[in-house]
Amino acid sequence: MRTRDMLWSGWGDPGRAAPLPEAVAGLLRDLLGVRPAEAPPVALVDVEVPDSRLTADGLTALARIVGDGNVRGDTESRVRHTRGKSTTDLLRIRAGETSRAPDAVVLPGTHDEVLAVLGACARRRIAVVPFGGGTSVVGGLTPGGAGAFIALDLRRMDAVVSIDEVSRTAVLQPGLRAPDAEAALAERGYTLGHFPQSYEWASIGGFAAARSSGQASAGYGRFDDMVVALTAATPEGTLELGRAPKSAAGPDLRQLVLGSEGAFGVITSVTVRIRPVPEEKAYEGWRFASFGEGAAALRRLAQDGPLPTVLRLSDETETMAGLADPSEIGSGSSAGCLAVLGYEGTPERVAELRAGAAAVLRAAGGEPLGAGPGEKWEHGRFDAPYLRDALLDAGAFAETLETAAFWTDVPALYDAVRGALTGALTGAGTPPLVMCHISHVYPSGASLYFTVVSAQGEDPIGTWATAKRAAGEAIIDAGGTISHHHGVGTDHRDAYAREVGPLGAAVLRAVKDRVDPSGIMNPGVLIPPTAGE
């Protein structure tokens, strides 16, 4: 299993890990009081897991379905499927805390095998946690309850089933990793255009189950926009949804499965829209004096065009913190805010978009910075999670959260979340650096993506839980959604209950009761509990 697994105690490829530069470590010490951790992370060989709670009958039944070699109970396999990749997940696994390790890892190879596994688990009350790339940052791989559960690893289901060049669609299996999907489509001259920060390790099924949004969403849309059909296995049978791109035949049940995070079943294939690989890509940077001024410029592009493929804006703090190099974005005492724009298409179309966007941005107070800042972002856009690991190694706490709102509410939402995070963490004795950017825009609104860095303090997990609750309350009170693209998981479930209200929560529970009456599918994730649970 090692060939396609991430670093068990961090992000991505261990060969790409790099220590924090001493100059940055010194700055963290001076500004935030960051001190090196007292003990290094445990070694994988020293990690222990609880005894498996699966009975011999259960293991035998699963092995009969998928084959003996595809039911794994060794310590390393179980550790590598414990939790996801949030900072609190990593702090726990680095400390050797494996109380929520799966009791076995099961690797089905077909839709029918998934159905059979779900049936066998339902009869024995064994919970099932679907596992794609393992990149969840919201507790989506940590089921509730105290009973036995398996990680259903879908990596064997990794085929490009078909490509329809007439309809420009492709049928993809859920365990297919995003880079493999892009490589296979590129051989035929196509692309999904879906490049979230998790791109190098995330799976197609995970994109669908969490309503992923890529960094080129302005041009290509979110992943749920790309899905035109899907198949899902549930404990009660198969759902086959999507007979046409759009339909008036009742509510669109595709949207019920998209974003369901494994709580209703397992997505076993998706039919997605594909597009020709663009002839040209170009990136550039623009400077704005303030975040408010830059956000207004992005809104004008989102509403009236021309709309670039990539459109993002860092606030003053993120710009100054080195996520955008201040030396590249103007002189003076204030670097302002960096906007990054990307354009794709034919050379003629790229030139047309750049000229049109430039006119809008200049009129909105923007200052052109040339290609350098945009190309720097493009080349390093998948590096941030590695930086997070280096910050943890140095004794810092680093985490993200995101939301979205209508344009009218964006300014107040930005202030409310920043204030909640700063107040909660400062009150705990770990004053933070809070950064933000807009990276997904729509005619009616935009997302806000916050990055928080502070000292770990004595209880980093408890301190962050308090801060995140405060941020969640601020989001709901300010009219935002609790998640734009990270999902709900267990971390956001209580806030999600407030967002959808009692009747909405009851509707979700009713659906789960019908497709998963035994309650084995990722229990505790997404679905708001009833009072007293």
Query: CA-CA distances (angstroms) from residue 95 to 20, 42, 47, 316, 517?
Result: 21, 6, 9, 35, 36
* Pair 70, 134 in one domain: yes
Query: CA-CA distances (angstroms) from residue 496 to 89, 209, 506?
Result: 21, 16, 13
Among residues 257, 276, 295, which one ends one of the domains? 276
Confidence of residue 533 (pLDDT cuts 50, 70, 90): low
Query: CA-CA distances (angstroms) from residue 328 to 277, 286, 324, 357, 438?
Result: 30, 10, 8, 21, 20
321 pLDDT more than 90: no
Among residues 100, 129, 153, which one ends one of the domains? 153
Residue 20 is assigned to a structural domain of this protein: no
327 pLDDT more than 80: no
Among residues 96, 131, 153, which one ends one of the domains? 153
pLDDT of residue 27: 86
* Contact of 100 with 163, CB cutoff 8 Å: no
Q: Which of 191, 123, 200 is nearest to 160 (CA)?
A: 191
The answer to which of 20-29, 90-99, 139-148, 312-321 has the lowest mean pLDDT is 20-29
User: What percentage of the chain reaches a pLDDT higher than 90?
Assistant: 90
Residue 138 is assigned to a structural domain of this protein: yes
Tokens, residue 245: 């791109």
What average pLDDT does range 96-111 have in this prediction?
A: 97
272 CA to centre of own chain: 19
E-assigned strand segments in 251-306: 266-273, 275-276, 280-288
**What is the domain-level CATH number for residue 368?**
3.30.70.3450
What average pLDDT does range 236-255 have in this prediction?
A: 96
318 pLDDT more than 90: yes
What average pLDDT does range 157-180 have in this prediction?
A: 98
Residue 304 is assigned to a structural domain of this protein: yes
pLDDT of residue 322: 65
332 pLDDT more than 60: no
Residue 374 is assigned to a structural domain of this protein: yes
364 pLDDT more than 90: yes
* Pair 353, 257 in one domain: no
pLDDT of residue 23: 82
* Pair 366, 285 in one domain: yes
- The Cα–Cα gap between 310 and 377 comes to 11
* Pair 67, 45 in one domain: yes
**What is the domain-level CATH number for residue 136?**
3.30.43.10
Average pLDDT, the chain: 95
Residue 472 is assigned to a structural domain of this protein: no
pLDDT of residue 5: 82
- For residue 417, which amino acid is it? V
* Pair 272, 286 in one domain: no
- The tens digit of pLDDT for each residue in 37-54 reads 878 899 999 999 999 999
* Pair 268, 308 in one domain: no
What length is written for the chain?
Answer: 533
| Residues in CB range of 222: below 8 A, 6 or more apart | 211, 212, 213, 214, 440, 485
Q: Is 408 exposed, middle or buried (0-12, 13-18, 19+ CB in 10 A)?
A: exposed
Residue 244 is assigned to a structural domain of this protein: yes
* Pair 119, 221 in one domain: no
**What is the domain-level CATH number for residue 192?**
3.30.465.10
pLDDT of residue 243: 95
User: What percentage of the chain reaches a pLDDT higher than 70?
Assistant: 96
- The tens digit of pLDDT for each residue in 412-456 reads 999 999 999 999 999 999 999 999 999 999 999 999 999 999 999
**Domain of 370, in residue numbers:** 280-380
Residue 404 is assigned to a structural domain of this protein: no
3-state secondary structure of 230: strand
- The tens digit of pLDDT for each residue in 56-89 reads 999 999 999 999 999 999 999 999 999 999 999 9
Confidence of residue 119 (pLDDT cuts 50, 70, 90): very high
What average pLDDT does range 186-204 have in this prediction?
A: 97
Q: Is the backbone of residue 67 left (phi > 0), alpha (psi -120 to 50) or beta?
A: left
Domains held by the chain: number: 3
pLDDT of residue 499: 96
* Pair 186, 222 in one domain: yes
Q: The whole model's pTM is what? A: 0.95
381 pLDDT more than 80: yes
* Pair 211, 120 in one domain: no
* Pair 260, 237 in one domain: yes
* Pair 318, 212 in one domain: no
* Pair 245, 139 in one domain: no
Confidence of residue 162 (pLDDT cuts 50, 70, 90): very high
* Contact of 215 with 235, CB cutoff 8 Å: no
